[in-house]
């Protein structure tokens, strides 16, 4: 059976075996009882389901979904204890359809994918909707000053708490949550005591957070003062802030409908940068806003660097359907920058921030060494995560699920969730499509500076698939859009790459270990390049 074979291939040597165990349960320690034990642990959540999965017809559908398990980079100056950096191996699971004609029983050891160690919590409240925004938000209006007692917020939080407590996860054996991300909306609008209650619910459900857990919150200038920030840090436990500056120019802030001005921006930066409990903060900007000039962009980048954040996110404006911008503007046409202008802005950012000591570690993310956003890394490494709240997405047991985006429907969803008994919940064994998994893996990894680990890719999809992928990308290695690297991340010359591809069938040592998009040209063309790989993965 496919599941068995794949299983064996990963346990081929003891090092791999250890890695696998580690991947299955990153909190496994070397003196723990070994793989069978860890499997048991991982099987517990769906005990009944596992029983069913034991009795499967021959025709069932085995599919792999690899989950990247990358080393957590030790953070500079944090109490973070680094896990061994060798655990690059993916986890493996077989998700199968339980068909009605169960005649043959094939006992199979089916490891479950690891349980999520990341939780996203959506706090949808905003004063008003920005002109570019298509997120699930709730606009409260700017008139009410006493937001802390707004019943809309407290009602929502109540549902959120119910949702968390209705989640199926055994609190006693759950690995500690390592990242919590409060996204929005504008989470900083929610009173700290309410945010704290949400975090309490998380603890009640999944146990105490990891000692070095990253707790991020998106905050907007003008929505908090020193006291509130202190509360968020001291009372709630937020240790990372993502500050939605978006622009440093009054006219741009106005044009995109932000509820704050330049004054609030400077004030907020001062507060966040000077806050003791914040180990790492991100300054978020939007590039290619309408009427943006080269001078403005240069100014924004300069001011961003001088604010000395550990992290900078630069989101290229996407004109999304249904937004005010979509009604007003056409991409590439005035007052939006032309395609080549906005490409130039992207290159400027990459250049200026790199010069200032930031690593361009993902298409729109820059950080000082060791300050990657751990929570986002979960997404980009295809690891599982919980999602709670309006419109939020989760990725559990290989299944991606998005909650309703409308408040009423979300509330219904939570009510239903609470009525479900534990037995019912286990029915939702989903089919994970191998092609989709491969596409997710390639798409997500190629958007990061680390790129695609070819050995790892080959271990799931075979050498032939790896070679086809390389062949499809071959012209872009020539053109400099894709960079081939060896194990040590040294660039491999194009001609060597060619040789290796030609000798792919023979027993040759494959020196190329990683492929990544070049910065900035490859990143700028990421859609094209990834779409080309999709043609190979899912012809």
Partner 1 sequence: MGALYGAARAARSRLRPFLSESRAIVPILHKIGGERSFCSHSRQNSREGAVDLGQFPPERIRNFSIIAHVDHGKSTLADRLLELTGTIKKGHGQPQYLDKLQVERERGITVKAQTATMFYRYGIKEDDAMENLSNYLLNLIDTPGHVDFSYEVSRSLAACQGVLLVVDAAQGVQAQTVANFYLAFESNLTIIPVINKIDQPTADPVRVKAQIKSLFDLDPADALLTSAKTGQGLEHVLPAVIDRIPSPPGKCDSPLRMLLLDSYYDEYKGVICHVAVVDGALRKGDKIASSATDHVYEVLDVGIMHPELTPTGVLFTGQVGYVISGMRSTKEARVGDTLYQAKSTVVPLPGFKPAKHMVFSGLYPADGSDFDALNHAIDRLTCNDAGVSVSKETSTALGMGFRYGLSVPQEYGAKVISTVPTVPYMFEYADGSKVQVQNPAALTSNPGKRVTACYEPSVIATIIFPSEYVGPVITLCSERRGEPLEYSFIDCQRVLMKYRLPLREIVVDFYNELKSITSGYASFDYEDAEYQQSDLVKLDILLNGQPVDAMATIVHNLKAQRVGRELVEKLKKFIDRQMFEITIQAAIGSKVIARETISPLRKNVLAKCYGGDVTRKRKLLEKQKEGKKRMKRVGSVDIPQEAFSELLKVSKD
Choose between 355 and 435: whose C-beta lies nearer to partner 1.
435
Would you say 193 and 159 are in contact if contact means Cβ atoms under 8 Å apart?
Answer: no
Query: Which residues contact residue 379 at a Cβ distance below 8 angstroms, ignoring those fewer than 6 apart?
Result: 385, 444
List 200, 339, 418, 427, residue binding partner 1 (CB under 8 A): 339
In whole angstroms, what is the distance from residue 272 CA to residue 284 CA? 13
Q: Which of 347, 330, 224, 258 is nearest to 294 (CA)?
A: 347
Segment contacting partner 1 (CB under 8 A): 75-83, 99-107, 342-350, 422-430? 342-350
Cβ neighbours around 511 below 10 Å, total = 15
Asked if residue 178 binds partner 1 (CB under 8 A), the reply is no
Q: Which of 197, 205, 38 is nearest to 119 (CA)?
A: 205
Helices (H), 113-225: 151-166, 192-206
Asked if residue 428 binds partner 1 (CB under 8 A), the reply is no
Choose between 120 and 460: whose C-beta lies nearer to partner 1.
120
CA-CA distances (angstroms) from residue 221 to 169, 253, 267, 468? 36, 11, 8, 48
Asked if residue 364 binds partner 1 (CB under 8 A), the reply is yes
Segment contacting partner 1 (CB under 8 A): 6-14, 162-170, 351-359, 435-443? 435-443
Choose between 175 and 387: whose C-beta lies nearer to partner 1.
387
By CB under 8 A, the count of residues binding partner 1 is: 51
Segment contacting partner 1 (CB under 8 A): 103-111, 169-177, 193-201, 522-530? 522-530
In whole angstroms, what is the distance from residue 301 CA to residue 350 CA? 10
Asked if residue 361 binds partner 1 (CB under 8 A), the reply is no
Residues 456-495 within binding reach of partner 1 (CB under 8 A):
475-476, 479, 481
List 56, 138, 243, 530, residue binding partner 1 (CB under 8 A): 530
Report the nearest approach of partner 1 to the CB of residue 107 (Å).
33
Residues 365-424 within binding reach of partner 1 (CB under 8 A):
376, 378-380, 385, 387, 391-395, 400, 402
User: 3-class SS at 248?
Assistant: coil
Query: Which residues contact residue 334 at a Cβ distance below 8 angstroms, ignoring those fewer than 6 apart?
Result: none
Would you say 213 and 176 are in contact if contact means Cβ atoms under 8 Å apart?
Answer: yes
List 80, 346, 358, 361, residue binding partner 1 (CB under 8 A): 346
Would you say 63 and 441 are in contact if contact means Cβ atoms under 8 Å apart?
Answer: no
Report the nearest approach of partner 1 to the CB of residue 137 (Å).
13
Report the nearest approach of partner 1 to the CB of residue 317 (Å).
8
Q: Is omega for the bond preceding 138 within 30 degrees of 0, making it cis?
A: no
The residue ranges that bind partner 1 (CB under 8 A) are 120, 183, 314-318, 339-340, 342-343, 346, 362-364, 376, 378-380, 385, 387, 391-395, 400, 402, 436, 439-440, 443-444, 447, 475-476, 479, 481, 523-532, 534-535, 538
């Amino acid at each position: 059976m496919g599941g068995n074979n794949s299983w064996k291939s990963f346990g081929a040597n003891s090092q791999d075996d250890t890695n696998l165990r580690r991947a299955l349960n990153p909190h496994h320690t070397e003196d723990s009882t070994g793989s069978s034990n860890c499997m048991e642990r991982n099987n517990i959540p769906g005990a009944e389901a596992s029983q069913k999965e034991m009795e499967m017809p021959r025709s069932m559908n085995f599919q792999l979904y690899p989950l990247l398990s990358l080393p957590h980079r030790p953070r500079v100056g944090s109490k973070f204890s680094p896990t061994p950096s060798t655990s690059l191996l993916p986890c493996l699971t077989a998700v199968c359809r339980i068909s009605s004609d169960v005649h043959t029983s094939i006992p199979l050891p089916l490891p479950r994918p690891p349980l999520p160690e990341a939780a996203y919590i959506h706090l949808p409240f905003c004063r008003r909707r920005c002109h570019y925004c298509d997120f699930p938000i709730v606009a409260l209006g700017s008139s009410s000053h006493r937001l802390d007692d707004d019943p809309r917020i407290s009602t929502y939080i109540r549902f959120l708490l119910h949702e968390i407590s209705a989640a199926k996860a055994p609190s006693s054996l759950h690995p500690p949550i390592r990242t919590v991300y409060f996204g929005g909306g504008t989470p900083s609008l929610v009173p700290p005591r309410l945010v704290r209650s949400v975090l309490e619910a998380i603890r009640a459900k999944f146990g105490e957070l990891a000692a070095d857990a990253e707790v991020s919150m998106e905050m907007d200038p003008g929505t908090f003062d020193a006291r509130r920030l202190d509360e968020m840090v001291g009372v709630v436990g937020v240790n990372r802030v993502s500050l939605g500056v978006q622009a440093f120019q009054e006219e741009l802030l106005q044009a995109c409908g932000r509820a704050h001005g330049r004054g609030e921006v400077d004030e907020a930066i001062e507060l966040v940068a000077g806050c003791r409990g914040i180990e790492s903060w991100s300054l978020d900007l939007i590039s290619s806003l309408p009427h943006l000039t080269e001078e403005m962009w240069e100014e924004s980048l300069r001011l961003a660097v001088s604010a000395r954040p550990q992290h900078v996110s630069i989101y290229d404006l996407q004109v999304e359907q249904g937004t005010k911008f979509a009604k007003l503007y056409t991409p590439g046409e005035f007052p939006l920058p032309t395609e080549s202008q906005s490409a130039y802005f992207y290159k400027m950012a990459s250049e200026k921030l790199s010069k200032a000591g930031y690593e361009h570690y993902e298409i729109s993310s820059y950080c000082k060494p060791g300050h990657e956003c751990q929570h986002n890394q979960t997404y980009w490494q295809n690891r599982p995560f919980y999602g709670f709240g309006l419109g939020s997405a989760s990725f559990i047991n290989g299944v991606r699920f998005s909650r309703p985006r409308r408040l009423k429907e979300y509330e219904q969803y939570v009510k239903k969730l609470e009525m479900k008994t534990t037995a019912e919940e286990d029915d939702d064994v989903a089919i994970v499509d191998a092609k989709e998994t491969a596409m997710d893996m390639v798409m997500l990894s190629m958007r990061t500076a680390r790129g695609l680990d070819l050995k790892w890719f080959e271990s799931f999809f075979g050498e032939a698939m790896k070679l086809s992928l390389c062949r499809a990308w071959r012209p872009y290695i020539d053109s400099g859009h894709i960079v081939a690297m060896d194990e040590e991340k040294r660039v491999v010359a194009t001609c060597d790459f060619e040789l290796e591809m030609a000798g792919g069938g023979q027993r040759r040592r494959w020196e190329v270990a990683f492929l990544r998009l070049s910065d900035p040209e490859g990143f700028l063309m990421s859609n094209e390049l990834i779409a080309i790989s999709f043609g190979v993965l899912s012809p």
